[in-house]
Amino acid sequence: MTTAPDARTPSDAALTDRRNFIRFLAASPVLTPSAVSALVGALSAGASSGALAQSYDVLRAPQQKAVDGVITAPEQALNVFDFEPAAKKALPPAHYGYLASGVDGDETLRLNHEAYDDIAIRVRRLIDVRKIDTSVTLFGETFSTPIMLAPVSSQGAFHAEAEAAVARAAKVKGNNFILSTVGSTSIEDVIAERGGPCWYMLYPTDDWSVTEALVKRAEAAGAPAIVLTVDRQGGRNTETLFRFRRDDTRDCKGCHAGGFANEVSRKPMFDDLDVSKVTNLYGTGMTWEFVDRLRKIVKGKLVLKGIVTREDAEIALKHGVDAIIVSNHGGRAEESLEPTIRALPEVVAAVDGKIPVLIDGGIRRGTDVLKALALGATAICIGRPYCWGLAAFGEPGVAAVLAILQREFETIMKQVGATRIAEITKDSVMVRA
């Protein structure tokens, strides 16, 4: 059987297309001669389209159509940092200041992230990592990723759909979500949007009857864990917030008129509660005896968020705590200059595998996730990054942040030769002195 002169067999067509593509590569202004040579070699050897996609990353990069350097759609983001300028542009100055602020000079906030630069990753070769499993199990529930969403208060200040949008993104990506007591959305609505339970972060107030009511409502809604925040006992000086507030010309007294009742009047978890005896949200007089009292009424798991020392971790074990989150409130609790990733190893050593240890603060890259897991964290929590996505683009922004971090994490996980979370160990990293 003969072939018509103007027709090509599939193999001939592929060869011609490959030659044309090689000519294009050779003329490309974005590739170095060495890169062209490597790609030509791969193509000449009949490299698969999958291999090409892995090698020629410039073809896969999103086109940037930023306005004044700010992305205008979530798919334009190259990393989670791209969402912060977009969030700043979208928010009133005081609202952005609330999201951006640490305390005092923001040094602890800054160090939370920069401390990850002191940890090098030890990569391994010649391990088949085509299939990996990033799932983790906490309190009997399996999540597809160790990347959790930390509690962030008042998300209605960032987007009209607030925590409901975050919950929907978490559902799609399989991330666990912790709701704040002073969230803008009720726990019932968050669980409905996520299609599954979420953890509940408790600000206990200084009125036990209110504390008890909050816990009972959260557990009745299906929260399997109550997360008691213990790092706000000393107050804080949020200078960055105060500076941005100076530039906000709106009349904010309608929402911030002072007094506890007004502060929580738009927070649905306080609906129908008598808060007349409450003087502060954080229970600043809490002691370990308070933890014991809380332990008696919490039917599910009790987690302490804000433990950063060996001593307190050891005490927490004695008081029946089920897990610890190493946290300094994202650098918003105190100007200690102690980043959470540096505090993590001593807390992990203190609990000695008896309970899970999680961490938040400064995690901005997939490599950060791996470093924290290698130093003993069971899972990690992010706060600001997903709120940047929420403020900038709503639910799609949150989903994009989670997708970027997961993609980066899977990439570095493969590069260290780990096919499952348990294979990420202290031998996967090296802490520089």
Q: Report, as residue numbers or ranges, the catalytic residues.
A: 329
Check: CB of residue 307 under 8 Å from CB of residue 325. Answer: yes
**Was 365 annotated as part of a binding site?**
no
**Was 48 annotated as part of a binding site?**
no
**Was 96 annotated as part of a binding site?**
no
**Was 19 annotated as part of a binding site?**
no
CA distance linking residue 165 with residue 400, whole number of Å? 12
**Was 319 annotated as part of a binding site?**
no
| Locus of tokens 């401390």 | 115
CA distance linking residue 365 with residue 116, whole number of Å? 10
Name the residue among 100, 90, 270 with its Cα closest to residue 185: 270
Which residues lie below 8 Å from residue 155, measured CB to CB, with a gap of 6+?
162, 163, 166, 183, 184, 185, 387, 390
**Was 174 annotated as part of a binding site?**
no
**Was 276 annotated as part of a binding site?**
no
**Was 274 annotated as part of a binding site?**
no
Q: How are the residues of the chain apportioned to helix, strand and coil, as percentages rounded to the nearest 5?
A: 45, 10, 40
CA distances to 49, 98, 275, 309, 353 from 327, rounded to whole Å, are 44, 18, 28, 10, 19
**Was 329 annotated as part of a binding site?**
yes
**Was 305 annotated as part of a binding site?**
yes
**Was 236 annotated as part of a binding site?**
yes
Beta bridge partner(s), residue 70? 67
Check: CB of residue 326 under 8 Å from CB of residue 362. Answer: no
**Was 299 annotated as part of a binding site?**
no
Name the residue among 364, 414, 411, 422 with its Cα closest to residue 57: 411
Tell me phi and psi for residue 423, to 5 degrees: -85, 0
Check: CB of residue 392 under 8 Å from CB of residue 83. Answer: yes
CA distances to 313, 375, 388, 432 from 116, rounded to whole Å, are 22, 11, 21, 10
Tell me phi and psi for residue 70, to 5 degrees: -110, 130
Q: Residue 176 corresponds to which tokens in the numbers above?
A: 């666990």
Beta bridge partner(s), residue 431? 119
Name the residue among 100, 155, 335 with its Cα closest to residue 236: 335
**Was 364 annotated as part of a binding site?**
yes
**Was 243 annotated as part of a binding site?**
no
Q: Judging by DSSP bridges, how do beta strands 357-360 and 323-326 pair with one another?
A: parallel
> What number of other Cβ atoms are within 10 A of residue 344's Cβ?
22
Name the residue among 212, 213, 372, 205 with its Cα closest to residue 284: 205
| Locus of tokens 């490597």 | 38
Beta bridge partner(s), residue 379? 358
Q: List binding-site positions.
A: 98, 180, 203, 229, 236, 305, 327, 329, 332, 360-364, 383-384
Q: List binding-site positions for FMN.
A: 180, 229, 236, 305, 327, 360-364, 383-384
Q: List binding-site positions for glyoxylate.
A: 98, 203, 329, 332
